[in-house]
Amino acid sequence: MAEDHEQRAVYVISVAAELAGVHPQTLRIYERKGLVLPARTGGGSRRYSDADIAQLQRIQSLTDEGLNLAGVKRVIELEAEIGRLREELAELRDASAQAIADAERQHRRDLVPVNQSVAVYRRSPRRRR
């Protein structure tokens, strides 16, 4: 539910710019560079979500550290890839843990309990005639 709220595009460009601490023209530049992709209304007006605002703040943080917009874009792409890979790794770990548990259950079913004791047979020494 919180994720839906973060994705709901509700802020007009002036409010988004103020929340992000930048000029509205800067948001247009970021959009042209592919750094942020706001939703559009039927009339074509930009609408920004809380996730967009967080993205804009991340962009500002990176540019404040001295990165140019191309560097910012690359960092954001790499962070997104890391996020996807972490999710994939978690899914694979879950799947492998399930596969191991399934294999262990199968092995337990395949084992047949032995209720008989083992008797050692010894050959008696041959008697000489």
Span 65-86, pLDDT tens digits: 999 999 999 999 999 999 999 9
> Dihedral, CA atoms, 48, 53, 59, 64, nearest 10 degrees?
130
pLDDT grade for 108, boundaries at 50, 70 and 90: confident
Q: Does the pLDDT value for residue 31 go beyond 60?
A: yes
Supply the pLDDT for residue 15: 95
Supply the pLDDT for residue 118: 64
Taking residues 52-73, report their average pLDDT: 95
Supply the pLDDT for residue 75: 97
Better pLDDT: 110 or 78: 78
Average per-residue pLDDT for the chain = 88
Q: Which long-range contacts (CB under 8 A, 24 or more apart) does 9-13 make?
A: 9/38, 9/39, 9/47, 9/48, 9/49, 9/52, 10/47, 10/48, 10/49, 11/47, 11/48, 11/49, 11/52, 11/53, 12/45, 12/46, 12/47, 12/48, 13/38, 13/45, 13/46, 13/48
pLDDT > 70: percent of the chain: 84
Other Cβ atoms closer than 10 A to 124: 5
Supply the pLDDT for residue 123: 77
Better pLDDT: 104 or 52: 52
- 2-110 classified as CATH 1.10.540.10: no
Cα–Cα distance measured from residue 122 to residue 4, given in angstroms and rounded to the nearest whole number: 78
> Where exactly are the structural domains of the chain?
2-110
